[in-house]
Amino acid sequence: MKFGGTSVADLDRIRRVGRLVAAEVAAGKRVAVVVSAMAGKTNELVAWTDGAGAAAQGLPASDDEYDMVVASGEQVTAGLLAMTLRNMGLRAKSWLGWQIPIITDEAHGKARIDEIPPEKLAAAMDAGEIAVIAGFQGVTRDGRIATLGRGGSDTSAVAIAAALDAACDIYTDVDGVYTTDPRIESKARKLARISYEEMLEMASLGAKVLQTRSVELAMSQHVPLRVLSSFVEPGEESGHSSEGKGTIVCDEEEIVEKRIVSGVAYSRDEAKISLFGLPDTPGVSSKIFGRLADANVNVDMIVQSHARSEGAANMEFTVGKRDAGRTIEILRAAQAEIGFEDAQLNEDVAKVSVIGVGMRSHAGVAKTMFTALAEKGVNIQVISTSEIKISVLIDAAYTELAVRALHAAYGLDQL
């Protein structure tokens, strides 16, 4: 069971989490619980690191000490939930990442899990103890705390489930995966099932329900995954425990009726980089994206086109807003070697995407998308596609309009 920040935002909510955990124990299940920091706590800790660290002093980032600070939020929640469960008469013990251990690589701030030896955890659970685990954190092989990136508690939960050969329930502030964000489109519908592939695309394209890497890991390790609401009392919907609720994330073969489009996702965390006057010669793209890869900058949409001048090209690509300033600095520092004439940054953009495994066997999906946006006067700046998704980059001001238009165009309000 994994509980996000809003689910553990205060002591009352932690007590409700305790009741949900107790219901699973009463149903005869061995339970491990992964918790996030209380809502808003990680942002506060990050702000402190910005004030004390590189941002304040103009110095290189101390990523290992950043991790030391921001990992503390989950430690508080784990301890509080373990105390709450004990006060309910249950056996519980809190675990930090290094105590299990959750062994990661050394990419501080966005570490990846290398290994989770399950023996200690499994032994405690076999003895009837509820394991309450601090999410979002692990430990490098040289003993330093490392964090898994924002939303990393989802990845912690799936990785621990895989290590224990268990199913994984993700409890959040919504009662499942919806066709789009219900805060933007009131006609959004909850999906009973969604494929790993669709969920992976939705997560990577801006849906906040699950972290991308957690879905990736669930798919590769075949971890049964379910999204549920933590804002109910045990038994409110199903009579006992949590059976029959939420959205199941599963293999495509387990979905009987495949929709052409399952959802519309959006992300405002985008920045567009434009490079003008690039030499139109082999190796230029390698110079650009090689440098960004070395700096751990993740690049998303990429479009190259011919420039007006002979032998030159223009290129546009997107990165996360947090990496935007650093990306421009890296490119301008290498301008002479790469050979471009000018670079521009635009952070006033948003990415809107439609996702569905049914796209593989149906024509006309792109036409529907472009027609719907054109009718609303939404201009498309960049397009990218995969087998089961189409994404467009648009002016951020049109995000909500575009989401609602596409949701209606594909009949998602009629499911």
Could you tell me if residue 83 is inside a domain?
A: yes
Distance CA 27, CA 238 (A): 13
Residue-level pLDDT at 232:
85
Q: At what angle do helices 72-87 and 11-26 cross, to 10 degrees?
A: 60
The mean pLDDT of 281-305, rounded to a whole number, is: 93
Q: Are residues 234 and 154 in the same domain?
A: yes
Residue-level pLDDT at 240:
47
Residue-level pLDDT at 383:
93
Q: Are residues 124 and 22 in the same domain?
A: yes
Of 110, 113, 89, which Cα lies nearest the Cα of 102? 113
Q: Are residues 241 and 343 in the same domain?
A: no
pLDDT tens per residue, range 390-408: 999 999 999 999 999 999 9
Distance CA 316, CA 33 (A): 43
Q: Are residues 138 and 223 in the same domain?
A: yes
Distance CA 103, CA 115 (A): 5
Annotate 178-216 with b (16+ C-beta within 10 A) or e (fewer). Answer: bbbbeebbeebbebebbbbbbbbbbbbbbbebbbbbbbb
Could you tell me if residue 145 is inside a domain?
A: yes
Distance CA 130, CA 111 (A): 26
pLDDT tens per residue, range 353-373: 999 988 888 888 999 999 999
Could you tell me if residue 159 is inside a domain?
A: yes
Could you tell me if residue 9 is inside a domain?
A: yes
- DSSP-derived 3-state class of residue 359: helix
**Confidence band for 347, pLDDT divided at 50, 70 and 90:** very high
pLDDT at 239 over 50: no
The mean pLDDT of 319-328, rounded to a whole number, is: 93
Q: Are residues 58 and 108 in the same domain?
A: yes
Could you tell me if residue 273 is inside a domain?
A: yes
pLDDT at 242 over 70: no
pLDDT at 14 over 70: yes
Residue-level pLDDT at 403:
97
Q: Which token pair is 184?
A: 């933007």
Identify the weakest region by mean pLDDT among 81-90, 140-149, 247-256. Answer: 247-256
Q: Are residues 238 and 332 in the same domain?
A: no
Handedness of CA 290, 159, 216, 322 (dihedral sign): negative
Q: Which token pair is 246?
A: 């939420």
Q: Are residues 280 and 410 in the same domain?
A: yes
Q: Which token pair is 26?
A: 């009463």
Q: Are residues 363 and 223 in the same domain?
A: no
Q: Is the pLDDT higher at 149 or at 22?
A: 22
Total domains in the chain come to: 2
Q: Which residues pair with 194 in a beta bridge?
A: 249
Mean pLDDT of the chain: 91
Q: Is the pLDDT higher at 111 or at 212?
A: 111
Q: Are residues 311 and 382 in the same domain?
A: yes
Identify the weakest region by mean pLDDT among 49-53, 99-103, 285-289. Answer: 49-53
Question: Where does a domain end: 226, 254, 282?
Answer: 254
Q: Are residues 124 and 149 in the same domain?
A: yes
Q: Are residues 217 and 295 in the same domain?
A: no
Whole domain around residue 317: which residue ranges? 263-414
Residue-level pLDDT at 273:
96
pLDDT at 121 over 80: yes
Could you tell me if residue 180 is inside a domain?
A: no
Question: Where does a domain end: 254, 287, 308?
Answer: 254
Could you tell me if residue 380 is inside a domain?
A: yes
pLDDT tens per residue, range 171-226: 988 889 999 998 899 999 999 999 999 999 888 776 677 888 899 999 999 999 99
Q: Is the pLDDT higher at 311 or at 335?
A: 335
Identify the weakest region by mean pLDDT among 48-62, 86-100, 278-292, 301-315. Answer: 48-62
Q: Are residues 156 and 305 in the same domain?
A: no
Q: Which token pair is 332?
A: 């301008």
Question: Where does a domain end: 192, 221, 254?
Answer: 254
Distance CA 81, CA 231 (A): 16
Q: Please name the residues in contact with 171: beta carbons below 8 A apart, sequence gap of 6 or more.
A: 1, 2, 3, 4, 7, 17, 20, 228, 229, 230
Identify the weakest region by mean pLDDT among 58-67, 217-226, 286-295. Answer: 58-67
Could you tell me if residue 44 is inside a domain?
A: yes
C-alpha 224 chain-centroid distance: 18
Residue-level pLDDT at 311:
86
- DSSP-derived 3-state class of residue 30: coil
C-alpha 70 chain-centroid distance: 18
CATH of the domain at 286: 3.30.2130.10
**Confidence band for 56, pLDDT divided at 50, 70 and 90:** low
Distance CA 202, CA 325 (A): 26
